[in-house]
């Protein structure tokens, strides 16, 4: 596949946008946001200016997760502070120091004041708020293991962890928290305990308060020291006793950002010889990576990482998770570009298949694992594509980014923001927008498509935290008092010349902007993988190497069934069930044979039964009750002018389930192509209110005994005919001439008398034992005149059972089948769904 998406083009396209939007407006929005935050929550000082309209900093009675608060709250504030003081770049912003009359000594968390528009002086408000928040988390670090407790109350600390050294012998303060019968959970995840180093180190350096850096590093090494003898980490650990909770080891959920922080701490911290230096973090990364490569990496089929037993390395589970998609990006940062490229490909294939990433996917079974099909807007896959693009400059990653962007736009946009997907298979949205969607997902996409963004040009050791906040240590803040690490630490710098700490230069692009990734030799992707592409995602494929081809023989008839379940609060269905049945009187009716008459009678009977179920008319006594209650209500409203009419509960729409029948189109001189109408939804979509395209059906029996009533094709969109008794041509010839209008006949469905069986694969089997009907002569009207518009016909199997299904149906549609061809050959493992 050739992928041409040159960086220049992206630049041209974006320059127009940038001139208007980036720079000035973005800077204004940022500054307005900071001013508003300070107004609401104070400036982080102890005095009166520290009290905002809503509160004093983070002084709230709220139990929060330590890890999430650090990566989202502390990290976000620190990163914003670094932008505010100009340590991280914003185009067009050069901080100007405010004029001060007296030179005053800076307090902790203060920076020399910078003048902002509107008279605001930025003097470190965000940094002090970060400090306030981080200080409130410190009680969580009172453990004997050095790993923090998972939760803390921002106002009261950790009175609920009764075994903490902080609470031993403490008095009344804890009592109100000990009432709870369930002891507070002390399990934390490795990522949660070990991924605080970046934020806390930057905070320490900026405030000259070493506590945060020391505690975060102590926690990091406490996790690392518990690695198994084969160098692997578990996902969950008890912060009190230091025991692993379960035996699994992987790279994803629970562990992910630990590895990220090992490498990124090395990048962030300026080089130094001191203990706990960047070298030791680099060594931890190399050792962790080596263990992952040895025990978790699977090069079979598409390279990926499995889950293994922590101590033995024996395989435990064959799924990968969406969280683990960050790892190729981390590898790219570490210079392991080849491994990064190949392990990112399986995630790419998954995104192509689901137009998002399911939370867990079974590599062994090839489907969503354990029902974990959601995608809450997670960034990891996009993050890796961004880092891979930066490392390789391969236009492939633009192509992937474009796919991701258009899928997100198509599937996640709502009036109030960007929803996650509850299930990537159905597209059902979740009523939630996670902060990481903007903090990471949108940010990495933006940075991918903006090669000239100042962050992409910044030649300095900065990193994105695990929440996507850029951090840097200002040069002036580099020296810091380091705690001496205990002698028991087993960190040694690995003396292996193969271990990299720099990125190799990106491979030179192939001529004509062809993607190096797409042109990889022996790429297994697509050869043994079943790839499922939703038709709406794929649209009309116009790739020179691949063609989407519509199946002209097989298709599916989709049937929306009546809902027989008793409905509470049922609103009248949009299309009355009567519509489905013919109840016209017709002049030609007398010519019509007995069989058809009984057919009509049954229909009328069933129609009335169905109508009774859904539109039961209220009995006299029910009317009485309704009227008297309405009367009482109205009179009470009249008596009391303050009273209002109580709103009645909104009627709930009735939902109707779907089923599908494989159908086959005829061949021969008299075969018309299958009518071209929009595809009905897949029957697995679940019950829906909206009806399918056709709502009127005529049941014509075998249609062999002469002309059908004129109303059959004029007033019915579908005619159902049973197979047998005469030829297909004869059956069609018995359909009166009609003018094709909105309400007239669109499709004849022949029901084969074969009863479809399980062995046939019904209803999923492609053919369900269907043979292709032959209409050997051109279609004519009952008078033998050549039909101007040949009638579209398909055949389904199933005999009486199928007819019964149609008699219970509310509406009918068709869904075409597609396959993908490459140079005239069917690509058997690509399925268009
Ligand atoms: C983010 O909050 C962080 O990246 C975290 O480390 C784990 N992943 C989520 C988003 O998926």
Question: 0.85 cut: is pTM over it?
Answer: no
Ligand 1 pocket mutation pick from 196, 378, 444, 469 by most atoms within 8 angstroms of CB: 378
- Residues 641-661: tens digit of each pLDDT: 444 445 556 677 889 999 999
Contacts of 131 (CB under 8 A, 6+ apart): 44, 108, 109, 203, 207, 209
Ligand 1 pocket mutation pick from 65, 71, 195, 438 by most atoms within 8 angstroms of CB: 71
Does the pLDDT of residue 184 top 50, yes or no?
yes
Residue bearing the CA closest to ligand 1, atom 11: 378
- Residues 135-168: tens digit of each pLDDT: 999 999 999 999 999 999 999 999 999 999 999 8
Distance 453 CA to ligand 1 centre (A): 23
In terms of pLDDT, which residue wins out, 763 or 372?
372
C-beta of residue 430 within 8 angstroms of C-beta of residue 374: yes
Is the CB of 204 inside a 6 Å radius of any atom of ligand 1? no
Contacts of 548 (CB under 8 A, 6+ apart): 538, 540, 541, 818, 819, 820, 832
Is the CB of 436 inside a 6 Å radius of any atom of ligand 1? yes
Does the pLDDT of residue 731 top 90, yes or no?
yes
Distance 188 CA to ligand 1 centre (A): 15
For the chain, give the mean pLDDT.
82
Instruction: Give me the residue spans of the domains in the chain.
Output: 6-477+498-505+577-600, 658-832
Question: For position 830, what pLDDT does the model report?
Answer: 78
Question: For position 24, what pLDDT does the model report?
Answer: 85
Is the CB of 330 inside a 6 Å radius of any atom of ligand 1? no
Question: For position 55, what pLDDT does the model report?
Answer: 96
C-beta of residue 692 within 8 angstroms of C-beta of residue 712: no
Of the candidate ranges 256-265, 274-283, 716-725, the one whose mean pLDDT is the lowest:
274-283
Of the candidate ranges 119-128, 252-261, 523-532, the one whose mean pLDDT is the lowest:
523-532
- What mean pLDDT is predicted for residues 757-782? 68
Q: How sure is the predictor about 727, in pLDDT bands with cuts at 50, 70 and 90?
A: very high
Of the candidate ranges 42-56, 306-320, 366-380, 483-497, the one whose mean pLDDT is the lowest:
483-497
- Residues 572-631: tens digit of each pLDDT: 333 332 333 333 333 333 333 333 323 333 333 333 223 233 333 344 444 444 444 544
Q: How sure is the predictor about 508, in pLDDT bands with cuts at 50, 70 and 90?
A: low
Catalytic positions, written as ranges: 68, 256, 359, 380
466: annotated binding-site residue? yes
Separation between Cα atoms, residue 723 and residue 714, nearest integer Å: 22
Helical packing angle, 380-392 and 396-412, nearest 10°: 160
CA dihedral in degrees (587, 593, 594, 595; nearest 10)? Answer: -120
Is the CB of 610 inside a 6 Å radius of any atom of ligand 1? no
CB atoms within 10 A of CB 320: 29
Give the pairing of strands 658-664 and 793-796: antiparallel
- What mean pLDDT is predicted for residues 423-430? 95
CATH code at 6-477+498-505+577-600? 1.50.10.10
Is the CB of 466 inside a 6 Å radius of any atom of ligand 1? yes
Maximum alpha-carbon separation in the chain: 109
- What mean pLDDT is predicted for residues 431-458? 96
Atom of ligand 1 nearest to the CA of 322: 11
Is the CB of 226 inside a 6 Å radius of any atom of ligand 1? no
Is the CB of 467 inside a 6 Å radius of any atom of ligand 1? yes
Does the pLDDT of residue 179 top 50, yes or no?
no
3-state secondary structure of 625: helix
Residue bearing the CA closest to ligand 1, atom 10: 378
Distance 467 CA to ligand 1 centre (A): 6
Distance, C-alpha 116 to centroid of its chain? 39
Q: How sure is the predictor about 827, in pLDDT bands with cuts at 50, 70 and 90?
A: confident
Question: For position 153, what pLDDT does the model report?
Answer: 98
Distance 425 CA to ligand 1 centre (A): 22
Distance 439 CA to ligand 1 centre (A): 10
DSSP secondary structure, 683-752, as one string: GGG--BSS--SB--EEE-TT--SSPPPTHHHHH-SEEEEES-SS-HHHHHHTSPP----TTS--EEEEEP
Of the candidate ranges 95-109, 205-219, 699-713, the one whose mean pLDDT is the lowest:
95-109
Residue bearing the CA closest to ligand 1, atom 8: 323
Of the candidate ranges 31-45, 496-510, 547-561, the one whose mean pLDDT is the lowest:
496-510
Question: For position 290, what pLDDT does the model report?
Answer: 95
In terms of pLDDT, which residue wins out, 705 or 589?
705
In terms of pLDDT, which residue wins out, 507 or 39?
39
Nearest to 187, CA basis, from 227, 251, 239: 239
Does the pLDDT of residue 633 top 70, yes or no?
no
Question: For position 544, what pLDDT does the model report?
Answer: 60
Question: For position 230, what pLDDT does the model report?
Answer: 94
Residue bearing the CA closest to ligand 1, atom 5: 466
| Whole-angstrom Cα Rg for the chain | 34
Residue 165 pairs in a beta bridge with: none
Separation between Cα atoms, residue 474 and residue 649, nearest integer Å: 60
Give the pairing of strands 547-561 and 809-822: antiparallel
Tokens of 3: 């992928």
- What mean pLDDT is predicted for residues 404-413? 96
Separation between Cα atoms, residue 213 and residue 206, nearest integer Å: 11
DSSP secondary structure, 250-286, as one string: -SSTTTHHHHHHHHHHHHHSPP--STT-HHHHHHHHH
Of all residues in the chain, what percent carry a pLDDT higher than 70? 75
- What mean pLDDT is predicted for residues 739-748? 95
Tokens of 711: 């109303």
Of the candidate ranges 70-79, 106-115, 519-528, 772-781, the one whose mean pLDDT is the lowest:
519-528
Looking at mean pLDDT, say which of 524-533, 686-695, 740-749 comes out highest: 740-749
Q: How sure is the predictor about 83, in pLDDT bands with cuts at 50, 70 and 90?
A: very high
CATH code at 658-832? 3.50.30
Atom of ligand 1 nearest to the CA of 468: 4
Distance 444 CA to ligand 1 centre (A): 13
Does the pLDDT of residue 11 top 90, yes or no?
no
Nearest to 378, CA basis, from 358, 350, 407: 358
Q: How sure is the predictor about 502, in pLDDT bands with cuts at 50, 70 and 90?
A: low
Atom of ligand 1 nearest to the CA of 376: 11
In terms of pLDDT, which residue wins out, 361 or 623?
361
Question: For position 606, what pLDDT does the model report?
Answer: 31
Separation between Cα atoms, residue 530 and residue 14, nearest integer Å: 37
Is the CB of 592 inside a 6 Å radius of any atom of ligand 1? no
Question: For position 758, what pLDDT does the model report?
Answer: 43
Atom of ligand 1 nearest to the CA of 326: 4
Distance 128 CA to ligand 1 centre (A): 25
Per residue, what are the HEC states of 376-402?
Answer: CCCCHHHHHHHHHHHHHCCCHHHHHHH
Atom of ligand 1 nearest to the CA of 72: 2
CA distances from 167 to 141, 158, 160 (A): 12, 8, 9
Question: For position 299, what pLDDT does the model report?
Answer: 86
Per residue, what are the HEC states of 405-422?
Answer: HHHHHHHHEECCEECEEE
Give the pairing of strands 420-423 and 428-430: antiparallel
Of all residues in the chain, what percent carry a pLDDT higher than 90? 64
Looking at mean pLDDT, say which of 262-271, 457-466, 536-545 comes out highest: 457-466
Residue labelled with tokens 């063609």: 547
Atom of ligand 1 nearest to the CA of 260: 6
Separation between Cα atoms, residue 714 and residue 708, nearest integer Å: 11
Does the pLDDT of residue 23 top 80, yes or no?
no
Question: For position 543, what pLDDT does the model report?
Answer: 62
CA angle 738–740–742, rounded 5-degree value: 125
Is the CB of 556 inside a 6 Å radius of any atom of ligand 1? no
Is 6-477+498-505+577-600's fold the same as 658-832's? no
Of the candidate ranges 317-321, 477-481, 692-696, 712-716, the one whose mean pLDDT is the lowest:
477-481
What's the order of all strands across the beta sheet hosting 319-321?
319-321, 360-362, 367-368
- What mean pLDDT is predicted for residues 5-16? 53
CA angle 629–634–637, rounded 5-degree value: 125
- What mean pLDDT is predicted for residues 803-819? 94
In terms of pLDDT, which residue wins out, 497 or 337?
337
Is the CB of 378 inside a 6 Å radius of any atom of ligand 1? yes
- Residues 784-805: tens digit of each pLDDT: 999 999 999 999 999 999 999 9
Question: For position 31, what pLDDT does the model report?
Answer: 97
Contacts of 217 (CB under 8 A, 6+ apart): 197, 201, 276, 483
- Residues 551-579: tens digit of each pLDDT: 989 999 999 998 876 544 433 333 332 33
């Amino acid at each position: 596949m050739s992928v041409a998406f040159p960086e220049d083009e992206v630049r041209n396209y974006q320059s127009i946008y940038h001139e208007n939007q980036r720079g000035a407006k973005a800077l204004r929005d940022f500054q307005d946001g900071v001013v508003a935050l300070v107004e609401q929550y104070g400036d982080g000082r102890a005095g009166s200016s520290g009290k905002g309209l809503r509160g004093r900093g983070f002084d709230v009675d709220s139990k929060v997760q330590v890890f999430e608060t650090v990566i989202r709250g502390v990290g976000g504030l620190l990163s914003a502070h670094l932008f505010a003081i100009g340590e991280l770049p914003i185009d067009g912003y050069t901080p100007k120091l405010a004029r001060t009359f007296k030179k005053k000594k800076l307090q902790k968390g203060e920076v020399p004041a910078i003048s902002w528009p509107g008279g605001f002086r930025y003097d470190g408000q965000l940094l002090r708020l970060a400090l306030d928040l981080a200080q409130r988390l410190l009680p969580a670090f009172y453990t004997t293991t050095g790993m923090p407790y998972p939760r803390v109350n921002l106002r009261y600390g950790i009175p609920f962890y009764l075994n903490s050294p902080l609470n031993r012998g403490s008095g009344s303060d804890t009592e109100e928290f000990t009432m709870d019968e369930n002891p507070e959970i002390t399990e934390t995840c490795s990522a949660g305990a070990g991924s605080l180093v970046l934020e806390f180190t930057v905070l320490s350096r900026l405030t000259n308060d070493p506590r945060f850096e020391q505690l975060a590093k102590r926690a990091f090494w406490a996790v690392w020291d518990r690695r198994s003898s084969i160098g692997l980490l578990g996902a969950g650990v008890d912060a009190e006793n230091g025991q692993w909770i379960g035996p699994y080891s992987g790279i994803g959920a629970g562990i992910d950002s630990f590895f990220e922080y090992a490498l990124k701490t090395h990048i962030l911290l300026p080089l130094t010889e001191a203990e706990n230096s960047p070298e030791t973090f680099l060594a931890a990364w190399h050792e962790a990576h080596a263990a992952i490569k040895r025990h978790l990496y699977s090069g079979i089929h598409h390279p990926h990482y499995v889950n293994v037993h922590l101590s033995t390395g024996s395989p435990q589970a064959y799924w990968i998770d969406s969280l683990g998609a960050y790892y190729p990006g981390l590898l790219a940062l570490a210079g392991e570009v080849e491994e990064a490229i190949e392990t990112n490909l399986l995630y790419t294939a998954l995104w192509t298949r689901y137009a998002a990433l399911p939370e867990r996917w079974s590599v062994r079974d090839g489907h969503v694992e354990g029902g974990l099909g959601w995608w809450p807007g997670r960034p990891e896959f996009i993050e890796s594509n961004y880092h891979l693009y930066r490392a390789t400059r391969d236009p492939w990653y633009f192509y992937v980014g474009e796919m991701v962007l258009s899928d997100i736009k198509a599937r996640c946009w709502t009036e109030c923001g960007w929803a996650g997907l509850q299930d990537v298979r159905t597209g059902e949205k979740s009523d939630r927008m996670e902060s990481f969607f903007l903090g990471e997902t949108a940010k990495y996409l933006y940075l991918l498509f903006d090669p000239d963004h100042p962050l992409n040009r910044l030649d300095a050791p900065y990193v994105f935290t695990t929440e996507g906040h850029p951090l840097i240590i200002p040069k002036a803040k580099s020296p810091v008092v380091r705690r001496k690490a205990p002698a028991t630490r087993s960190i040694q710098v690995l003396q292996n010349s193969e271990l990299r700490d720099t990125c190799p230069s990106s491979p030179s692009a192939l001529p004509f902007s062809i993607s190096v990734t797409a042109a990889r030799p022996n790429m297994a992707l697509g050869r043994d993988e079943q790839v499922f592409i939703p038709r709406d995602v794929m649209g009309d494929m116009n790739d020179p190497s691949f063609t989407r081809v519509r199946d002209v023989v097989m298709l599916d008839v989709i049937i929306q069934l009546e809902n027989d379940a008793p409905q509470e609060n049922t609103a009248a269905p949009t299309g009355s069930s009567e519509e489905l049945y013919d109840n016209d009187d017709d002049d030609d009716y007398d010519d019509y044979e007995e069989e058809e008459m009984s057919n009509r009678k049954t229909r009328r009977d069933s129609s009335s039964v169905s109508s009774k179920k859904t539109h039961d008319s209220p009995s006299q006594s029910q009317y009485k009750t309704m009227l008297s209650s309405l009367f009482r209500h109205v009179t009470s409203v009249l008596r009391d002018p303050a009273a209002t009419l109580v709103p009645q509960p909104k009627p709930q729409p009735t939902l109707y389930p779907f089923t599908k029948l494989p159908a086959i189109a005829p061949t021969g001189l008299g075969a018309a192509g299958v009518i071209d109408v929009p595809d009905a939804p897949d029957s697995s979509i679940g019950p829906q209110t909206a009806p399918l395209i056709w709502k009127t059906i005529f049941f014509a029996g075998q249609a062999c005994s002469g002309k059908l009533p004129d109303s059959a094709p004029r007033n019915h969109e579908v005619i159902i005919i049973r197979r047998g008794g005469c030829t297909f041509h004869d059956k069609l010839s018995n359909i009166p001439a009609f003018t094709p209008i909105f309400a007239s006949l669109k499709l004849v469905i022949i029901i084969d008398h074969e009863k479809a069986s399980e062995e046939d694969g019904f209803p999923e089997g492609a053919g369900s034992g269907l043979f292709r009907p032959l209409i050997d002569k051109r279609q004519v009207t009952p008078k033998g005149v050549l039909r101007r518009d040949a009638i579209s016909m398909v055949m389904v199997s199933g005999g009486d059972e199928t007819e019964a299904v149609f008699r219970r149906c509310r509406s009918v549609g068709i869904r075409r089948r597609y396959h993908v061809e490459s140079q005239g050959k069917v690509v058997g493992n690509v399925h268009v769904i």
